[in-house]
Amino acid sequence: MSTVDWFGCAVCTVFLRGCPVRCTYCHNREIQDGEDYREVEEVVEMIRSSRMLVSGVVFSGGEPTQQKEPLLMLTAASREMGLKVGIQTNGVFPETLEALLHEGLIDRVALDLKARWERYDNLLKKKFTRNIRRSLTLCRTAYQERALQEFEIVVTLFRGYEDEVKYIAGELEGETIVLQQGVEGTLPPLTSAEMRQIADRLGREVKIRTREEGEVVYDGRRDRRIPGKR
Ligand code: SF4
């Protein structure tokens, strides 16, 4: 159970194993690969057992969209329980997102963007850029058509790579951007104040997510703590 995976909503978070991207800062490196197969029904029952305490489910990972058919079944079952459904994704599997959107099975997508397009394949050392761009377009269109209630772009910030978000933001069409405090090894994380300075350079409202403050909406002149958050 989680109060940080969907701000403003208590959720049950399901982590699906496996991710073709290998971020060194991954918060779940132990499930980037390996095997631990479960029946879909077993997971459905775990979600059902938390039904009285949550109003939504977030599918995370690893990369949840890598397992298309199980994810379709799990999201459909969650819907039947009356739960809102969110996905945290790196966008590598647009066909799964397309199916979820087509079936009307998700309310929210948090899409990680890690670099400007021209650097993406180099950074990931795999040719995923086209897929990720397609995922962005699918979610953008669904959000504009109100088939998707919430859509945000998550950019994880690290000391020494503060400028990349400026280029990422320049490639977007006004989508909500979340600046997330990255934590990796012994590298000191950016402070909330430093993240506000980065946001100032974007010249637009963003959300800033840090361990110290939780999530705030920041537009350069004022910032607002999300109600009920740390
Ligand atoms: S894309 Fe996400 S889940 Fe996959 S390795 Fe990177 S941080 Fe971990």
Domain residue ranges in the chain: 1-148, 157-230
- Quick: pLDDT tens for 162-174: 889 999 999 999 8
Looking at every residue in the chain, the average pLDDT score rounds to 93
Neighbouring CB atoms inside 10 A of 186's CB total 4
Whether a cis peptide bond, with omega within 30° of 0, leads into 62 is: yes
Q: CA–CA separation, 80 vs 20, rounded Å?
A: 30
pLDDT at 228: 46
Instruction: Evaluate: CB of 123 within 6 angstroms of ligand 1.
Output: no
For ligand 1, the distance from its centroid to the CA atom of residue 26, given in whole angstroms, is 5
pLDDT at 224: 65
Residue with the smallest CA separation from ligand 1 atom 8 is: 26
Instruction: Evaluate: CB of 62 within 6 angstroms of ligand 1.
Output: yes
CATH class of 1-148: alpha beta
- Quick: pLDDT tens for 55-74: 999 999 999 999 999 999 99
- Per-residue pLDDT band at 124 (split at 50, 70, 90): confident
- Which of 166, 229, 167, 219 minimizes the C-alpha distance to 196? 219
Q: What number is the average pLDDT over the span 157-164?
A: 91
SS3 labels along 111-131: EECCCCHHHHHHHHCCCCHHH
Instruction: Evaluate: CB of 91 within 6 angstroms of ligand 1.
Output: no
- 42-55 burial string, b = 16+ CB within 10 Å, else e? ebbeebbebeeebe
DSSP-derived secondary structure letter, 29: G
Instruction: Evaluate: CB of 215 within 6 angstroms of ligand 1.
Output: no
Measured from the CA of 62, which atom of ligand 1 is nearest? 3
pLDDT at 186: 86
pLDDT at 24: 87
